[in-house]
Amino acid sequence: MSGKNNINMSVKIEKLKLKNPVMTASGTFGYGEEYADYVDLNKLGAVVVKGLSLKPRAGNPPPRIMETTGGMLNAVGLQNIGVEAFIAEKLPFLRKFDTKIIANIYGESYDEYKKIARKLDAAKGVHALEINISCPNVQKGGLSFGADPKTAAAVTRKVKDATDLPVIVKLTPNVTDITAIAIAVEKAGADAISLINTITGMSVDIFTRKPHLKNITGGLSGPAIKPVALRMVWQVLQKVSIPVIGIGGIMNAEDALEFLILGAKAVQIGTANFINPQATMDVIAGIEKFMQMSNVANINKIIGTFKP
């Protein structure tokens, strides 16, 4: 919506209107405040906060992260302060900003998903929910819900019944056919789909013969996964009609544009935040520059212009 040169970057994800298509990816931007010294949060399309569970979670024992070629493995294990503390302690700060707040939620049972959704629905300042049915680093819930079309649909339905907020379902790439899950959650009422979460992976210390992560396996993110993410976004786009949000290894505006051109309505920036706290700002500026260069005034004229 930058007034400069009449460039319009606003996009709509069902009833969720974003000033631009750039969001932060859950788990890479804390609760927003961690990066508030570096990024003008007002300039973001949306802030997606760290996954919230019903009760606080301590997370996994360290070591939790390891850099691998072109990416990083993490097994944080959804450490978070819990939905109630989020509403009481973190949301008031986020409400001060002119951006959309998307709460990523994680439950160990249908009932937990429902309860978290109800609490956030009642809280002022949350604009949408993103359901995490795809965390690879926790024992219960998460991935097991996301790996089966039936359970994925059931979680989606439970959350939809519990809230009037737009519901985005975040999909895992760790399945044989991601389109089957995408179709199932669309049918169950999802307002949008975001993908991909991290790809499970591991790394071995050849000297100690131990895994680099205490959890043994972790989720791979970063530039290494971008081609996989693009492929999956492309496959899902051909099977669903609800908006798709592209995530996976976006480091700069060019990477983001690849997803948008495929047809993703928006993108999420994750691991790039760690390397450059202003990565989201650079991506927004880069997209704007690309639009000026290509003489396109409206971002929607770029979205879905892929020519296979």
Partner 1 sequence: MAKNIYIGEIFKNEEIAQDCFLMSVALHSTFAEPQPGQFVMLRISGISEPFLARPFSIYSFQRETDFCRIDLLYQVVGKGTQILAGLIKGSQVEILGPLGNGFEISQSARNLVLIAGGMGAAPLSFLAEYLDNKVCSGSSKIYFYLGARNSETLIGMDKINNLTCTAVICTDDGSLGEKGLVTQILAQDLKKYAPDQTMIYACGPKPMLKELAKILQGTKFKCQVSLEERMACGVGACLGCAVEVKGKKGMAAYKRVCADGPVFYIDEIAWKKI
Distance (Å, whole) CA 25 – CA 199: 15
Is 35 among the residues known to form the active site? Answer: no
Residue placing its CB nearer to partner 1 in the complex, 27 or 246: 27
- If one asks whether residue 215 binds partner 1 (CB under 8 A), the answer comes out as no
Strands 199-202 and 217-221: what pairing? antiparallel
Residue placing its CB nearer to partner 1 in the complex, 28 or 53: 28
Query: What is the smallest separation between the CB atom of 114 and partner 1, expressed in angstroms?
Result: 26
Instruction: List C-alpha distances in Å: 4 to 128, 230, 288.
Output: 28, 30, 9
- Give me the 17-46 binding string for partner 1, x by CB under 8 A, dash otherwise: ----------xxxx---xxxxxxx------
DSSP secondary structure of 73-97: EE-----B--HHHIIIIIHHHHHTS
Catalytically annotated residue among 135, 175, 178, 232: 135
Which letter, b or e, does each residue of 90-103 get, where b requires 16 or more Cβ atoms within 10 Å of its Cβ?
bbeebeebebbbbb
Residue placing its CB nearer to partner 1 in the complex, 70 or 306: 70
List phi, psi (to 5°) of 41: -60, -25
Query: What is the smallest separation between the CB atom of 68 and partner 1, expressed in angstroms?
Result: 10
Query: What is the smallest separation between the CB atom of 63 and partner 1, expressed in angstroms?
Result: 6
Other beta carbons within 10 Å of 179: 17
Catalytic residue numbers? 135
In the complex, the residues that contact partner 1 under the rule CB under 8 A are: 27-30, 34-40, 50, 58-67, 69-70, 72, 74, 76, 79, 222-223, 271, 273-278
